[in-house]
């Protein structure tokens, strides 16, 4: 391919943090009018690469970044220079304002004509916003508040805002590259295909898109080319048409990954019941009955508003319930708060690990031992050496990759943060383990590790409940799947008797895929 066929060329990009090298002489080229995947495991360097190109991390000297607009030394890129180079970024949180209208989100900077005698000209704003959406064939009311839109529509508004900078009056596309960081991670299952089809269409019009994702089926389906980073080094650069999934997985993790399912053993031979929920009422729950035996991994599927997260939070004692009972190992715990449930062996891993389950600025070591401080205290005096030794053992046992035990947990990748959370809970030897979307935002290697840990918990006799939006994840790792619809259990089936299409139909009561969240 000729050099002028590329819209972005990154050469010899390196970044070191002390003795650790996050990027090592990385080259990264993106062709005009293509969707180019950038993938890698947690800690591979892809986030560092994006931060360098966005101008928020300064790389080592020697690298070069060239776009259709101009070329710059990589260590001279600031957020302003990045924008001048035509680089745009849409992150998972979208950077939008839910309480503002679509028009206000699309047009954060006023133009001549948007004000009249010092007052905002709403009609002019709406007309300009409507013009942007029309160019991207989006039938969205610009006067609606953003929060009223479906997740896919919100994502498309963010994409349209970014790509509109590259559109020219003649209908062509000026030089520019849009980086999408996990654009489907927050989307309901049924809206993913809508977004992917739009991306292919925008590339067909000449837009250039870098697609960052852990979802490899999407990568192979929508992208023209794939670049894989591992440990800061580019290990694969290939047209997606030449890649099979096993080869891509091996490039990401550096080894072949056993695709065998990791499940619990099912309820043990004595059918020993560990968790019993009967007639549970509260919030969206309208009388949930659920029993989980020792060694079971029970998956929970359902639509938005079905009450899946509320079920876990209510069992964990985070929400009061209005009726029904919760029993753990035969003990009645109805009305118990989170502290009491924890004392009785109930561990809860929430979906938003960084906000709800970790202390971001505290060290990896402190996060690992934070649930068991009494274990490291004698006569009221905390024993840091004992705690540090325990944290080091957990760090090794759960394969946490970090700069060190003293590093803040916020510096870790998503997969390693999740390993810290699981290590902390598993140190308590829980009777009941509740997990909400345990693999969200986690790369394929760490995902396999996480389900191995979950399987080990079940093997040790824990009753495990997993809420997941991923059909394959439920089928691959659970011994039984229950459906939650409008606050009640709608079905309960052994996984071995379920086909993918049947599970979809059971969840949606229709012969088409829709929202699994």
Structure tokens at 317: 């004692």
Of the candidates 31, 461, 60, 492, which has an alpha carbon nearest to the alpha carbon of residue 268? Answer: 461
Query: How far apart are alpha carbons 490 and 485 in whole angstroms?
Result: 6
Helix pair angle (151-163, 192-204), 10° resolution: 20
**Residue that wins the pLDDT comparison between 515 and 402:** 402
Structure confidence at residue 513 (pLDDT):
38
Instruction: Tokens for 444, please give them.
Output: 């394929």
What integer is the mean pLDDT of 411-417?
84
The mean pLDDT value of the chain amounts to 84
Output the pLDDT for position 121: 66
Q: What structural domains does the chain harbor?
A: 3-253 (3.40.50.300), 258-345+430-517 (3.40.50.300), 359-428 (no CATH)
- The CA R_g of the chain, rounded to the nearest whole Å, is 25
Q: Could you give the percent of the chain with pLDDT greater than 70?
A: 88
Q: For residue 512, is pLDDT > 70? A: no
How far apart, in Å, do the first and last CA atoms of the chain sit? 42
Question: Distance between alpha carbon 368 and the CA centroid of its chain, in Å?
Answer: 22
- What pLDDT does residue 340 have? 92
Q: What is the pLDDT of residue 434?
A: 95
Q: What angle do CA 273, 277, 282 make, to 5 degrees?
A: 165
148 pLDDT higher than 50: yes
CB atoms within 10 A of CB 286: 15
pLDDT greater at residue 422 or residue 193? 422
510 pLDDT more than 70: no
Tens digit of pLDDT for each residue in 433-459? 999 988 887 777 788 888 989 999 999
Structure-token pair, residue 439? 């693999």
Look-up of token digits 């299409």: 501
Mean pLDDT on 4-13: 89
Calpha distance 324→304 (Å, rounded): 23
Q: How confident is the model over 168-216, as pLDDT tens digits?
A: 555 555 678 999 988 887 776 667 888 888 888 888 888 899 999 888 8
Query: pTM of the entire structure?
Result: 0.63
Say yes or no to pLDDT of 161 above 80. yes
Is residue 6 scored above 50 in pLDDT? Answer: yes
The confidence score (pLDDT) of residue 296 equals: 93
Task: Using the predicted structure, report yes or no on whether residue 413 has a pLDDT greater than 90.
Answer: no
Whether residue 483 has pLDDT greater than 80 = yes
For residues 316 and 271, the answer to whether their CB atoms sit within 8 Å is no
Q: What is the pLDDT of residues 345-367, one digit of tens each?
A: 999 998 888 788 888 888 888 88
State yes or no: pLDDT of 262 exceeds 70.
Answer: no
What tens digit of pLDDT does each residue of 39-98 get?
987 678 888 999 999 999 999 999 999 998 889 999 999 999 998 898 999 887 788 888
pLDDT digits (tens, 9 = 90+) for 269-315: 444 889 999 999 988 898 999 999 999 999 998 876 788 899 999 99
Summarize the confidence of residues 394-414 as an average pLDDT: 84
pLDDT at res. 357: 80
| pLDDT-based confidence at residue 164 (cuts at 50, 70, 90) | confident
């Amino acid at each position: 391919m000729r050099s002028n066929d590329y819209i972005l060329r990154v050469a010899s990009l390196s970044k070191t943090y002390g003795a650790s090298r996050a990027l090592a002489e990385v080259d990264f080229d993106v062709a005009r009018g293509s969707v180019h995947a950038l993938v890698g495991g947690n800690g591979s360097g892809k986030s560092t690469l994006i931060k360098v190109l966005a101008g928020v991390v300064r790389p080592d000297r020697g690298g070069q970044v060239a776009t259709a607009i101009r070329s710059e030394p990589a260590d001279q890129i600031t957020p302003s220079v990045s924008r001048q180079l035509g680089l745009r970024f849409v992150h998972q949180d979208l950077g939008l304002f839910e309480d503002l209208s679509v028009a206000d989100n699309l047009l954060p900077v006023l133009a001549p004509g948007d004000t009249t005698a010092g007052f905002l000209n709403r009609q002019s704003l709406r007309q300009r916003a409507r013009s942007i959406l029309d160019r991207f064939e989006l039938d969205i009311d610009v006067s609606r508040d953003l929060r009223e839109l479906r997740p896919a529509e919100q994502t498309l508004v963010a994409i349209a805002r970014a790509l509109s900078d590259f559109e020219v009056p003649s209908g062509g596309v000026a030089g520019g590259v849009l980086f999408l960081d996990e654009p489907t991670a927050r989307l309901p299952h049924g809206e993913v295909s809508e977004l992917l089809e739009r991306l292919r269409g925008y590339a067909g019009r000449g837009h250039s898109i870098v697609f960052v994702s852990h979802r490899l089926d999407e990568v192979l389906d929508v992208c023209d080319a794939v670049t894989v980073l591992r440990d800061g080094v580019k290990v694969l650069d290939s047209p997606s048409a030449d890649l099979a999934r096993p080869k891509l997985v091996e490039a990401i993790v550096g080894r072949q990954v056993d695709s065998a399912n990791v499940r619990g053993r099912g309820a043990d031979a004595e059918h020993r019941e560990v968790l019993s929920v009967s007639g549970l009422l509260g919030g969206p729950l309208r009388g949930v009955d659920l029993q989980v035996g020792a060694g079971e991994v029970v998956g929970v599927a359902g639509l938005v508003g079905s009450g899946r997260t509320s079920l876990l939070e209510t069992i964990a004692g985070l929400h009061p319930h209005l009726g029904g009972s919760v029993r753990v190992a035969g003990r009645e715990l109805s009305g118990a708060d989170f502290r009491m449930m924890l004392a009785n062996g109930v561990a809860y891993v929430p979906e938003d690990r960084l906000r709800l389950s970790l202390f971001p600025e505290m060290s990896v070591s402190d996060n690992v031992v934070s649930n068991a401080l009494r274990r490291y205290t004698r006569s009221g005096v905390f024993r840091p050496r004992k705690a540090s030794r325990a944290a080091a053992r957990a760090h090794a046992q759960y394969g946490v990759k970090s700069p060190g035990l003293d590093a803040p947990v916020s510096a870790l990748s998503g997969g390693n943060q999740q390993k810290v959370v699981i290590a902390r809970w598993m140190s308590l030897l829980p009777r009941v383990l509740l997990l909400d979307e345990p693999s969200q935002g986690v790369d394929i290697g760490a995902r396999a590790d996480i389900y191995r840990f979950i399987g080990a918990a079940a093997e040790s006799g824990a009753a495990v409940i997993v809420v997941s939006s991923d059909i394959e994840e439920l089928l691959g790792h659970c011994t039984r799947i229950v459906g939650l619809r409008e606050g009640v259990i709608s079905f309960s089936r052994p996984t071995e008797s379920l086909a993918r299409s049947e599970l979809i139909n059971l969840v949606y009561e229709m012969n088409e895929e829709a929202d699994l969240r």
